Chains A and B, each alone.
Chain A
């Protein structure tokens, strides 16, 4: 698959959608259809609070087309910063960051991404090089799931217990 496959105008998905793909396709479908539960989640509130308090002086919530970056720093290259609570969804966080880098590359912007785990006092750097295929596959999968007439069947796992969609899925 060449990285020319997705012209920028077709990239209408959000970072959250890429993130949710790697957490749970059911959640992704509901979320993408506007059936959202985030307002019910104490974790989401906590995340928002952390983001607002700890990174108060950063250039925050930078909107570029369909993506919204937690904050950026401008140096030799643009740094994309994403703040997360815990590492249990690390893969999802990484793919979200990769998507931002992929998106920016399409705009001709060279960037690197840094994931922040303020509660763990850790950061992690993510770079795109050579991983275009991986992200293109993910984009395709998000689009496939969003086009389904109904959500994929949920699979019960440990992560369901903290998920804001728990009741919706399992009632």
Chain B
């Protein structure tokens, strides 16, 4: 198994402000917001399915959700063909304040 993590781009379109707010809050716990209603998260398959489950509980039939898995090459290409800083990367797994 050896749980590897991958980047995911998560986009949504939600018709109701209440549900939108709930989804937004939930996603904030998993990753960073890149643009309005587009998040990027680095997740294990386990976390991905957990997130999906949590979101599906909130979402209704009329809402849409798109989860795009990105391989490491995809991420490199995202960095290559966009403005600098679109996909900020941190190398360390610690932060000092």
Please indicate whether A and B come from the same complex rather than being unrelated chains. no
Listed in ascending order, the chain B residues whose CB lies under 8 Å from chain A are: none
Listed in ascending order, the chain A residues whose CB lies under 8 Å from chain B are: none
